[in-house]
Structure 1
Amino acid sequence: MSLTAIAIAVLLPEALPLQAQERQQDQQATQTAQEGRRVHSVRRGDTLWDLASFYLSDPFLWPEIYRLNTMVVEDPHWIYPSEQLVLPGAGEIEVAIEEPDRVPGEEEVVVVPEVVAEGPPPELQELKSIFVPREATQTTLTYEPVPPLAALAVSASDFHRSGMLVELSELGPRGKVIDAAVPENILVKVPQSPPVYGRIYVSHPGGEPPQPGDRVLLSRIDRRVKGYGYVIRPTGIATIAAVHEDVSDAVIIQLFDRVGVGNEVTMLESFHMERGVFAEPVGTGPSGELVAFLDQQWVPSIEDIAFIDVGRDRGVVVGDEFEIYVSSRRSPEGFRLPEEHIATGRVVRVTEGTATLRVIEMEYAGIAEGLPVRLIRKMPS
């Protein structure tokens, strides 16, 4: 509310200040109420602002007059002649006490009286405690850093998902993925591949029922590589949850590829690799040839899976490393070209006559079927 608005004169277009003689008349017209309050009879030109300035010595206290006369004054901007306004008495004025302005950022200084603790009375000073004080001891805590886990040359996941090149007779007893285990009352479309923790029905490998808790490898038989067998592509790992008369109820716990009806089911081969143990360089070792890839790609890359024709029958074990290279040759012009290193592969799975390599280093993107390979690092026996 602006001061100009408050100072609008009563029944006049402009507010006129009270004249000295009118002030004298107002004092004479003021009478004492039963409660001891004064009463002012409004005259032409009066405003609450002027009345507060005259009677209360502070024009900003005009709301105190308005507060006592709300039954008479509807709008504090307008008061009318002959209205009887009760004036505040001593002790009735509500004044808001404002704290002094403080400079922003300035800390407030609070003076706290000093309290001096008194000692025990003389009659208690001679008393001794029944508790025997202990000597202060200092405990030093020593934290020894926990060494990180040593790396694995080949993880269990690499071993199971990498696939192999093998004759079907080497797979052992096999079953089949029969169907996805979906209740008939759930009207949903069965996905092409069950998700992780999805349930499937599998036939018993070799006709022998497995035990609940057994794990099985799900795989798909891909193309045949002449002279070496079939490319076996793992699709997942499942745990047998329940065994029925003809089938077992299995839960998929790992997915490597799309699981479908007809996938092969074999008992999961156990695998263990000691941490921190890696292949060591050797001078000589078995050599052979890269015969196929798990995935036929235009441009080979690191992490690709390849198969070589050197296997368990020649002493190869998981973790061994082979060099893939180009032999020395002559150029069309007759010049002798030196041998070139192409890539390095680590054995992640071994069969009787083949081994599965995972490419771990590549000098040139020129890995191709038919390139020679040779053992360059051997796992400690």
Structure 2
Amino acid sequence: MFKNRSLLALLVIAGFLFSAGIISAQQGNLVHKVVEGETLWELAGRYFQNSFSWPLIWEANKEIIADPHWIYPGQDLVIPPQTVSGQVTAPDTAAGQPEMQAEAATQEETPAEEMVYEPEPAKETPAVSVRKTQAMGYVKRPTPVVSELMAFEAGFISDELDKPTGHIIGSDRKDIEAMMANDPVYINLGSRDGAKPGDKHALYRVGQKVKHPQNGKNLGKIINIVGVLEVTDVEEKTSRAKLIKTFDGISRKEAFRPYVQIIVPKDVSPLPVQKSNQGCIVAFKQTNATATEYKVAYIDQGLANGIMPGDVFEIYRTGTMASDPDRGGKNILPELIIGQLQVLSARNNTAAAVITNSKVEDIVVGEKIRLIKQVPTR
């Protein structure tokens, strides 16, 4: 049998593209290869039409992105799917191979010097039944304005946290000090306490006390969320559970309270506002003295101020006084916009936010903030 080289090359290329499409369909994700100069912020704007959704890409690629500030050329990043196409199988069509053979027989024979010789197969290949699929539509997945997982992990400031619901009291893993996701644990809640399989609890640690940097008012303590456990088997006084999420190594004495899912607005983008709330940064999740992009900060604006997840603040510094050597006197320099942050979760008088961009490397507690965008769901 003879075939044209060009036709053969096209078939090979088409086969390659088809197989790649199958892989993509099986994985259900789009993969983006990073080029020089790209950032998660830019990729979120390109694929989600909302740059503030960059944590969604980070969350899907944490195994290869050590620091969201840095992505590198050549990295293959999974872009979380926004739509899923539904498909149904159509009835079997007539055998496709004989039609292909008949069509090939009618093609004009090509010159000998452009031919490739292929020996005839020993046996006739059986006809292959071809099944067709038809796209029936698309189901749009709601896009959260910020990452729900990041909002949960960010923690919060509380001045009203009661004693814990319970504690981890043991584990089957005697060989390790710090436990991680999927490790089994035992807790001091049982059927007498109302525990039942499927119950979820958030593991937490009480952090530093926070005072307002301007007036010294006590705002509470930072509550660091370190994981989530789920009850699997219940006895009278104790229960067996499994760690289903961990954000740090888990000890055998961690405290927990009932898990409450973080709810954030979906399928919306923050819109510019005219009248802006003003406040300041009161603490950072990490105990560093300074912070920059992608770090979690706590602010003195919360639900009582109409603030909710997704709202955007700019961080600014007021202009300083500068002497004029020519005319004498002093002038006030213009204020400096040094960055932005976006609210992840809000409580009554405070909120957790992530610094989405920064023009400086030394954002500190006490920096002034003002609201510039709000999520339009009020």
For the criterion TM > 0.5, the same-fold answer is yes
Q: How many residues align?
A: 241
C-alpha contact (below 8 Å) 2:229/2:241 kept by paired residues: yes
| SS in structure 2 of the partner of residue 335 of structure 1 | strand
Q: Which has the higher contact order (CA 8 A, sep 6+)?
A: 2
Q: CA deviation at 1:326?
A: 0.7
| SS in structure 1 of the partner of residue 363 of structure 2 | coil
Mapped partners of 2:133, 2:186: distance in 1: 56
Mapped partners of 1:153, 1:339: distance in 2: 29
- Aligned match of 1:151 in 143, 157, 167? 143
- Aligned match of 1:354 in 344, 350, 353? 350
- Aligned match of 1:163 in 155, 171, 183? 155
More strand by share: 2
Is 1:367 equivalent to 2:327 in the alignment?
A: no
| SS in structure 2 of the partner of residue 376 of structure 1 | strand
CA-to-aligned-CA distance 1:239-266 (integer Å, 9 cap, x gap): 1112333333221011111222332201
Cα gap change, 1:109 to 1:266, in 2 (>3 Å): closer
Mapped partners of 2:152, 2:318: distance in 1: 32
Mapped partners of 1:249, 1:272: distance in 2: 28
Mapped partners of 2:174, 2:349: distance in 1: 43
Q: Which runs of 5+ in 1 are unaligned?
A: 1-104, 111-139, 183-187
Q: CA deviation at 1:147?
A: 7.4
C-alpha contact (below 8 Å) 2:165/2:258 kept by paired residues: no
C-alpha contact (below 8 Å) 2:311/2:371 kept by paired residues: yes
Is 1:256 equivalent to 2:228 in the alignment?
A: no
Q: Which runs of 5+ in 2 are unaligned?
A: 1-114, 121-131, 212-217, 325-329
Q: Which residue of 2 aligns with 1:379?
A: 375
Q: Which has the larger radius of gyration?
A: 1
Mapped partners of 1:313, 1:285: distance in 2: 14
Cα gap change, 1:224 to 1:204, in 2 (>3 Å): farther
Q: CA deviation at 1:325?
A: 0.9
- Poorly superposed stretches of 4+, deviation over 6 Å: none
| SS in structure 2 of the partner of residue 331 of structure 1 | strand
Q: Which residue of 2 aligns with 1:230?
A: 221
More helix by share: 2
Q: Which residue of 2 aligns with 1:266?
A: 257
TM-score (ref. length: structure 1): 0.57
Mapped partners of 2:231, 2:322: distance in 1: 59
Cα gap change, 1:155 to 1:245, in 2 (>3 Å): same
Farther off after superposition, 322-331 or 227-236: 322-331
Identity of aligned residues (%): 23
Letter in 2 for 1:177: H
CA-to-aligned-CA distance 1:266-297 (integer Å, 9 cap, x gap): 11112333432122111113211111100033
Q: CA deviation at 1:148?
A: 6.8
Q: Which residue of 2 aligns with 1:343?
A: 339
Task: Report 1:104-119 matches (<5 A).
Answer: none
- Aligned match of 2:285 in 279, 285, 294? 294
Mapped partners of 1:107, 1:290: distance in 2: 75
C-alpha contact (below 8 Å) 2:157/2:223 kept by paired residues: yes
Letter in 2 for 1:160: F
